[in-house]
Structure 1
């Protein structure tokens, strides 16, 4: 009897890949219609078959194993679902990363919202289809699934996957947004001041103000990461373009509130002793004033004002509550049993918080309350579902999971903005090229070209190699420079704001002198200076660091050490050559 041909584990894996590709092909050509394929195996580098490279494949980000099949709570229910790039696009990006780049002028940082979102097109956000109380839960789910599938088909029929940005394709997450919009009296839209035009959807603005007839407050968060003149310019840009929006400037980080009294303009000395769990924030007072102007006398906000005056957050247990997992599951069961919205029902102001992943929604809630009430993380998609926190007995905050709206935003920029998890990025050098074309990365990192020639042109790969050599990043077996690890590290610095890329509103470059001398700019600069002293006194401990400490994890040595440029007294040295 002849011996059987050996069949290795590698061959078995290839066999499974081909089987999955065949199944994907069958789904793509089913009924002759465009089908959105869900890639269930994130550990493999599977792609759509070459003959179907123009069809989108959806990857589940941060997929978690299900320990108990059929369990009521599904840990993957609200996972991020994004388009997955094919091998051809990845190969082209790798080739481009080895080519020298040229620095772009400052005007290239000016962004127009309409160019990104194309208002009135198929890229507008999906709206909940009509429903009534006579429908069963199964019927409503089926209607929403059918509507959302048709919504995706319209987008992919008019735009190729390479033209589109990453955007949320998980209908469960969109249901969370619909729910927050329906139950909220005031909508709080949180944006990162570095990329506010990319985080502000005109379609959402029109839905809230014109269809739902509800007030919207735009929060420009993390204002300590941008020059004061740029913050004020963005503030006036949104007021002029979207007149119904209220603007609030905000930033927060873990600190003992008593440290404010230790700051003096003369010596700037700070008591470095910090109590765990306390948050220091700029903007809660302004948020209170905006809400007070909206509700007038319809809701009693005296308790909120007293909390602000105390300056120490909530002290009584009965004035705040954070839902545990059991209560979360109860809310999910009631997800489809809505009543007609009654504004300020029972004398309670309900504030819904929405925004992109990683813009600081959970940190903002902690800053408003004055202490840690919700967990935070650097990883996009950390908030899995709707959460409710009572600020006072008459003010309720609702935290919605981060949602990525459809747009024509550059995917490299989305990675730099922290929208896409860096650990899941397949090609990490292209975003660094995008960054280096707009700010002087070699100067910021204080690195020298490996060829050690002054007139040598830089490429994105050269930057990664130089940084790997400076930090001693080498591969385990061949001891070659670990370019991937270096690129990953640089991307994380960009997301954290240690390599600061800030976009400008249209026309800012020509009117920069006007905004730098604006009275509001001078006032904001003083506030930033005071908060900056607190932040740098403790070397910038963040809410994410605090979360990692509680989990018992330790920062690696390379995460603790930062380039000398980052310790500069001027936090905006890295913006540009200016």
Structure 2
């Protein structure tokens, strides 16, 4: 008799009885029906950012917004996902130009969902119902643009709760500041947001804060300033990273000085530091010429914002300027607030969507910051790879990596990639089926092999290499800045970033021999195991195939040709045993050693060989005589 189990079966039965309490249990004769329960799950999941949905998830979410309950037969449900044939990751130059032209033609159709009108007589349930209806109409219009017109949109925010946070920020703020990435400002700017702010109140102002401006050169900032002036777009250049670095150095110096004079540091209070910051704000007097291309300090930025938007007296602001900060996730919005406040008041994280609710921060006695959660506005995009490289999509959740990696290899010059990582990237020529530029496989295999990133079963792990390279690209280790629309040549626009002196300042793999003489140390790829690993992944090149084929067979073929002209060729050397007449007929051979017959084949006499019978068992004389008699 086996050992009795310690598990009490009555516990499972009690759970089942509790689950179907007051209900009839399903039987085998019941049809397999699946009922969807709406609004389930904990309350903290309501503000989760939703930018990508599959067909089924989008269908369920739309049903939830519409407040529709449905019952579907499970066995008859079939989800069909559309797919496009061919290479959908990158576009050619002509296809990209056509896509950008279509984007300009349909730019006015990209709108921000408006909050419906309400007053004191509107109940919360009525307001929520009207907000859902307005939001569903907005999503239908975007779906029509994608399906009927074939336009590619960025993965915009699909959660209504996040848009409600934006509506509250716009209603409270006197000035709305859109924070964008300096490497591609127009991708992160929503033009319709300015129209929406003016619809709420004509006295409100909008401004474009170009963060990460330290990645732009002086010439690049001048080009963008000229474009924004022509388009009549208010803008300011700022670098939260540099401001936080300056703040960190000031704190370290203060701590070092405090060790020698503890009494003076003890007298310093946060109130004194706030007063000192307000003094710097009042002392910052910059004219329009100085603000044109200058990367502002925190005090200078606050002074410029106060001058750009006067105070609007209302019952909520208490005679203070309320500045709303809006932007995509991962553009440095939280870092900007930390730089302005001078202390860590806002959580900062590499994963987009760290801030979940809007929050107000008292900056000075006259200025209040209103931080909105990171929100992805609907914007036209050329490819999904471009969205990954711009940091719109999270890299850790990436499944297809060849497209973004190929885009990085196309934008960054080959020698810059080699100098940054100290590797050697093989490139196939046009005769070998290449384009003269490194492919995604060449780049990823070279980096993975040089860094020791291999799969469990062998071979370079290109997926891990792609995540590292793409994160370096998004972080700015591989600099690339999109030029304004009136500048066509992006390579010339970024030429200053790829100068040998600039690359040598960023990488330790560039060796400077003279003021104008630089070389790249590619020691990471010169080891034989690395070379073998790269060659095993990269497609075989024409010269390698030629050496493999002709290197082992050319000498044997030439020797066989010489022997065929004058000697009898034995079997096993490339030719079968032949008679003297056949040898004479093969006196003329081609390059492969095959005979060129001087006489017709029928005239050549050949000897026919017969296979000898295998010897059997020796028979006795009596058996042989009996067989003969029979």
Q: TM-score, normalised by structure 1?
A: 0.60
Runs of 4+ residues over 6 Å off in structure 1: 85-88, 111-114, 260-263, 451-456, 510-517
Cross-structure match for 1:149: 136
Q: Deviations over 1:150-171 (max 9, x none)?
A: 2111211232377222211111
Cross-structure match for 1:233: 223
- Determine which of 81, 86, 93 is the counterpart of 2:51: 81
Q: Is the 8 A contact 1:208 1:216 kept in 2?
A: yes
Superposed counterparts of 1:151-550, under 5 Å: 151-160=138-147, 163-209=152-198, 211-213=200-202, 214-243=204-233, 245-253=234-242, 254-255=244-245, 257=247, 259=249, 282-296=296-310, 298=311, 342=314, 345-410=317-382, 411-441=384-414, 443-445=416-418, 446-449=422-425, 457=434, 458-476=438-456, 478-508=457-487
Q: For residues 451 and 282 of structure 1, do their structure 2 counterparts lie closer, same or farther at Cα, with a shift above 3 Å needed? A: closer
Q: SS state of the match for residue 437, structure 1?
A: helix
Q: Deviations over 1:254-295 (max 9, x none)?
A: 4353747999xxxxxxx9x9xxxx9x9943233223223234
Q: Is the 8 A contact 1:117 1:408 kept in 2?
A: no
Q: Is the 8 A contact 2:210 2:235 kept in 1?
A: no
**CA shift for structure 1 position 180:** 0.6
**CA shift for structure 1 position 374:** 0.6
Q: Is the 8 A contact 1:239 1:247 kept in 2?
A: no
Q: For residues 23 and 509 of structure 1, do their structure 2 counterparts lie closer, same or farther at Cα, with a shift above 3 Å needed? A: farther
Q: Is the 8 A contact 1:246 1:290 kept in 2?
A: no
CA distance in 2, matches of 1:436, 1:248: 29
Q: SS state of the match for residue 403, structure 2?
A: helix
CA distance in 2, matches of 1:513, 1:230: 11
Q: Is the 8 A contact 2:205 2:309 kept in 1?
A: no
Cross-structure match for 2:103: 115
CA distance in 1, matches of 2:84, 2:207: 39
CA distance in 1, matches of 2:153, 2:455: 35
CA distance in 2, matches of 1:504, 1:138: 48
Of structures 1 and 2, the one scoring higher in RCO (CA 8 A, sep 6+) is 1
Q: Is the 8 A contact 1:358 1:378 kept in 2?
A: yes
Q: Is the 8 A contact 2:427 2:439 kept in 1?
A: no
**CA shift for structure 1 position 409:** 1.2
**Which runs of 5 or more residues in structure 2 are unaligned?**
1-31, 56-79, 260-272, 278-294, 497-501, 513-517, 519-630
**CA shift for structure 1 position 372:** 1.5
Q: For residues 165 and 512 of structure 1, do their structure 2 counterparts lie closer, same or farther at Cα, with a shift above 3 Å needed? A: closer
Q: Is the 8 A contact 1:444 1:565 kept in 2?
A: no
Q: For residues 282 and 117 of structure 1, do their structure 2 counterparts lie closer, same or farther at Cα, with a shift above 3 Å needed? A: farther
CA distance in 2, matches of 1:258, 1:469: 38
Q: Is the 8 A contact 2:322 2:370 kept in 1?
A: yes
**CA shift for structure 1 position 125:** 1.4
Cross-structure match for 2:285: none
Q: Is the 8 A contact 1:112 1:506 kept in 2?
A: no
Q: SS state of the match for residue 159, structure 1?
A: helix
CA distance in 2, matches of 1:423, 1:566: 34
Q: SS state of the match for residue 174, structure 1?
A: helix
Q: SS state of the match for residue 357, structure 1?
A: coil
Q: For residues 506 and 146 of structure 1, do their structure 2 counterparts lie closer, same or farther at Cα, with a shift above 3 Å needed? A: same
**CA shift for structure 1 position 470:** 1.2
**CA shift for structure 1 position 186:** 0.9
**CA shift for structure 1 position 367:** 0.8
Q: TM-score, normalised by structure 2?
A: 0.55
Q: For residues 84 and 443 of structure 1, do their structure 2 counterparts lie closer, same or farther at Cα, with a shift above 3 Å needed? A: farther
CA distance in 1, matches of 2:472, 2:511: 10
Q: Which has the larger radius of gyration?
A: 2
CA distance in 2, matches of 1:128, 1:498: 41
Q: For residues 514 and 255 of structure 1, do their structure 2 counterparts lie closer, same or farther at Cα, with a shift above 3 Å needed? A: closer
Superposed counterparts of 1:52-63, under 5 Å: none
CA distance in 2, matches of 1:248, 1:502: 15
CA distance in 2, matches of 1:566, 1:373: 43
